[in-house]
């Protein structure tokens, strides 16, 4: 039972490079989301999706794009990496919003130099 799988676990980018963080879940969850975790701060919502074909912005969406072509996958794209995007990124999924448990991936540690 894989749950939420994120790849890669670690990544170093140069400023201006682009990349895609992968997220896949095998629990048939409708709701998926991306968060970033920075030292001394709580997790902050970047983008979320309530189902295939539907995405929306969270609290800190600038510099990131998402798409949701299938229920299982929710990739996060960095368009032109900046040092301010150095962070740990977590993908999460849940059956719905509200009183329902959210499952998190193991995270991707991204460093932009």
Partner 1 sequence: KNQVEQSPQSLIILEGKNCTLQCNYTVSPFSNLRWYKQDTGRGPVSLTIMTFSENTKSNGRYTATLDADTKQSSLHITASQLSDSASYICVVSGDSGGGADGLTFGKGTHLIIQP
Residues at the interface with partner 1 (CB under 8 A): 4, 31, 33, 40-45, 48, 50, 56, 58, 90, 92, 94, 97-99, 101-107
The answer to whether residues 64 and 79 touch, using CB atoms and an 8 Å cutoff, is yes
Q: How far is the CB of 33 from partner 1 (least distance, A)?
A: 6
The residue (of 27 and 50) whose beta carbon lies closer to partner 1 is: 50
The tokens for 107 are: 């995270």
Q: How far is the CB of 102 from partner 1 (least distance, A)?
A: 7
Provide the sign of the torsion angle of the four alpha carbons 44, 113, 66, 96, taken in this order.
Answer: negative
Q: How far is the CB of 16 from partner 1 (least distance, A)?
A: 28
CA distances to 36, 94, 95, 96, 102 from 99, in Å: 22, 10, 10, 8, 9
The residue (of 9 and 70) whose beta carbon lies closer to partner 1 is: 9
């Amino acid at each position: 039972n894989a749950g939420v799988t994120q790849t890669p676990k670690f990544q170093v980018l140069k400023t201006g490079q682009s990349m895609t963080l992968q997220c896949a879940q095998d629990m048939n969850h409708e709701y998926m989301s991306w968060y970033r975790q920075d030292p001394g701060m709580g997790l902050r919502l970047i983008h979320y999706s309530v189902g295939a074909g539907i995405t929306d912005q969270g609290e800190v969406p600038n510099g990131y794009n998402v798409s949701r072509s299938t229920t299982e996958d929710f990739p996060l794209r960095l368009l032109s990496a900046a040092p301010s995007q150095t962070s740990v990124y977590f993908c999460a999924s849940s059956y719905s919003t509200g009183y329902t448990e959210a499952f998190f991936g193991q995270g991707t540690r991204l460093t932009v130099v």
